[in-house]
Every structure is written in structure tokens, then in C-alpha cells.
Amino acid sequence: MKSARPRICLVNRSNGFLGDSPALKMMAAIQRQVSGDFAKAWGQDASLTYLRAGSRQAPAPGDWLVVICQNPGHAAELGYHDLTPQGKPLAIVYAEQDGELSVTLSHEILEMLADPSCNGFEHRKSDSLLYAREVCDAVESDTLGYRIQGILVSDFVLPAFFVEGAPGPYDWKRSLRAPFEIADGGYLAALDPSTGDWRELAPSVLESHPAGSRLERRLRALSADLRASDRSTHAPLAATPKPQAKVPLRRPIPAEKLARTALPKPPAKVLERQPDRRLAPVVPSSVRVPERQPLRGFRAERAAASADPAPAVVQDVPAADKPAPARQPLRGFRAEEAAKASSSAAGDAKAPEKKAEAPSSGSSATATPPK
């Protein structure tokens, strides 16, 4: 399905990787390619507009979108075109790539114009395959591009390319010599209707692709991904991998359905508090627990001071009623010293008694009774 002159809006979402000035120069060159070379060959023109980076302006509802992003979702991807959920053509181009960004941008815009619905095929009778109507894949190498206003743009095939036996030319730069021919650095995607399998046809293996070609960059990036994911034991790739089928995104389950299908939660288990066995040890009934003895000495004084009881009333107790504390017997060298002291004290007490007895006997002999 072709439109008379659709409007294609370029949206810069590269997070500053691509400035507005170089993006506008690329758009001006591609606009001249679309309105001049491509419209002359395929009869399809378009008007290109640009939304600056950071602009809050939204594209018009009927615009076809070309979004320039910074990082690819996969290292081998330089860009692709698809459809939005509303059925509008959409192209994604990654600004961070080691090739010419302008070639990738021109590549995706031209293929979006040639097959806006992404369902165009061309039948080839010789091999009974259906070839995707991708007008730039066979000549996608940067070395086959050409310059407009100093900007490198992509080469593209002509309608005669998809017709066996048709006379040339077969591409805009006249690099191809026959229909369905693939130039170095290019490839073609074909569907086998008997099996439903996709095939990607390339003219040679990875080592023979010119350095810097789009296909060589894709295969080199895929090989790096395999090495990074610990799958280095795989054999070297001889061609681009078969495109994977698009898996539709899973829609979220409505909240009402979740509420109906949700399982009831099990009742919470009530845990009973267990007694602390360290504070209350279990003692068998047959064991007799002795009563605790009262504290004595300094331990009793310390316990009384820590308890801080109320001051007791001190009553005078007669000295006779107070029991005299029993003195502990001395032991060891203290007992020996005490025994020596007591014996010497006993000897000193007997000596005065003898001295007192001697004068009393003499005096009794000489004394005369009083008259």
C-alpha cells in the first residue's frame, strides 16, 4: 500500500549522541534522494520533517515515524523498520554504530517507502522462493553508496531487480549485472513456502565480506556476542543468522481476573510464647531443693545497700543484753606469739610476789611488839 506523499517525522532520541545540526544535514540530503532518485525509479515520494532533541512537540497522528536512538537493543542491529500498534510505518535507527549513520538512515527510509506494510514479497520461479521487498539489502554496503551534498546515502535496487530475465539496470548505481544478484556486503531474505522457513542468502562467507560493510559489521557483532556469552565453541558463522519470528508481547492480566483467580491465603499460625527455661529451670519432683542460706558478712551489707530499704528505728539495747561475739582462736605463728606473750606475762606476775614475801619474814623476827 503506497500513499500519495506521506509525511515522515524524524524524532531525535539519541540522548545527545547525535546533534540537531548533523541530523538536519542528513535529512536534507535524504529528502533530495527520496524526491529525486527514488521517486523517479519507484514512483513514491515523501516529505521529511524533524523534531529536535528534547522537543516536547508530538508528531502528527498520521506521520510515519523514524526514531533515532542511542544504543541498539542488540549489538548486530543497525536499524530496522516495522509497524506501530496502530498500523503506522515505523523505523528505528541506532546512532551509536561504527559505520555511516546517514547510510543506515537512508536505507531504512527507502525500504519503508517501498514496503510500508512490511509484507511485500517477490516470487522467483527458478527457486520457488518468496523474496522480501527490501530494496537496499542487496546493495547495503557503505562502499556502494553515493553522496548527495556531501552526505553518504545508500544505494537501492530498481523494480527490474525482482523480475527474472528483465533488462537492466538493476540498481541506481549500476553495480549489479542480473536480477536477484547480491553484491559483496549485501544479502537477501527469502521465505520457503514449502517449509515456512526463512533463509538469508549472502554471496560469500564472513571472511570475504569487505571490511566496513553492513553485513560484515552485523556478523562481527554477532560473533562478539557469542564469545561474550561463553559460547566460543560454536563454529564460525558462514552467513547471517536466520531471522527469528516475532513473538507477541504478553498482555497484562486484568486486576478483576486476578482477584477471581487468586487463591485464599492460609490462616496465620499463632505461636504460643514458650517459657524461658533459663529463668525457670525444670526440676524433677523427686529432687529436694535446699533452702537458700542468708547472706553474711560484707555480702549482706552489700545486698542491704543495693536494696536501699527504709531506715529502721534504732533502739537502745543494754550492754548486758548484747551477746559478746565469740572470738575465733588464733592459728599459726600468731598463736605461737600469743602463747609466748602470755607466758612472759605470767612470769612477770610471779616475781613481785616473791619479793614481797622476803621482807615480811625478816620483819616478823626483829619486830618488837608494841607496848
The Cα–Cα gap between 50 and 140 comes to 24
Full-prediction pTM beyond 0.75? no
Contacts of 131 (CB under 8 A, 6+ apart): 121, 122, 123, 124, 162, 180, 188, 189, 190, 191
SS3 content of the chain, % helix, strand, coil (to 5): 30, 15, 55
Residue 233, number of CB atoms within 10 A of its CB: 6
Mean of pLDDT over the chain: 74
Model pLDDT, residue 90 = 93
Please state whether beta strands 188-192 and 197-201 pair in parallel, antiparallel, or not at all (unpaired).
antiparallel
User: From the CB of residue 179, how many other CB atoms can be counted at a distance below 10 Å?
Assistant: 20
Which one has a higher pLDDT value, 299 or 219?
Answer: 299
Whether the CA torsion 82, 87, 89, 93 is positive or negative: it is negative
Q: Which of 50, 46, 68 is nearest to 59 (CA)?
A: 50
Give mean pLDDT, residues 183-204: 87
| Least confident residue range of 41-55, 85-99, 109-123, 356-370 | 356-370
pLDDT at 14 over 60: yes
Please indicate whether residue 324 or residue 262 has the higher confidence score (pLDDT): 324
pLDDT in the model for residue 205: 42
pLDDT band at 165 (very low <50, low <70, confident <90, very high): very high
- Distances 167 to 132, 164, 188 between C-alpha atoms, Å: 21, 9, 20
The answer for residues whose C-beta is within 8 angstroms of residue 213's C-beta and 6 or more apart is 140, 141, 142, 143, 184, 185, 186
In the predicted structure, residue 294 carries a pLDDT above the cut 90: no
3-state secondary structure of 98: coil
Q: In this predicted structure, which of 91-95, 150-154, 165-169, 356-360 has the lowest mean pLDDT? A: 356-360
- Pick 275 or 14 by higher pLDDT: 14
For residue 16 the three cell numbers come to 545527545
Identify whether the C-beta of residue 140 lies closer than 8 Å to the C-beta of residue 151.
no
pLDDT at residue number 40: 96
DSSP string, 27-74: HHHHHHIIIIIIHHHHS---EEEEE-TT--PPPPTT-EEEEEESS-SS
Give the pLDDT confidence of 102-151 residue by residue, as tens digits.
Answer: 999 999 999 999 999 988 999 999 999 999 999 999 999 999 999 999 99
Average pLDDT over residues 214-222: 50
Query: Per residue in 84-108, pLDDT tens?
Result: 888 899 999 998 877 789 999 999 9
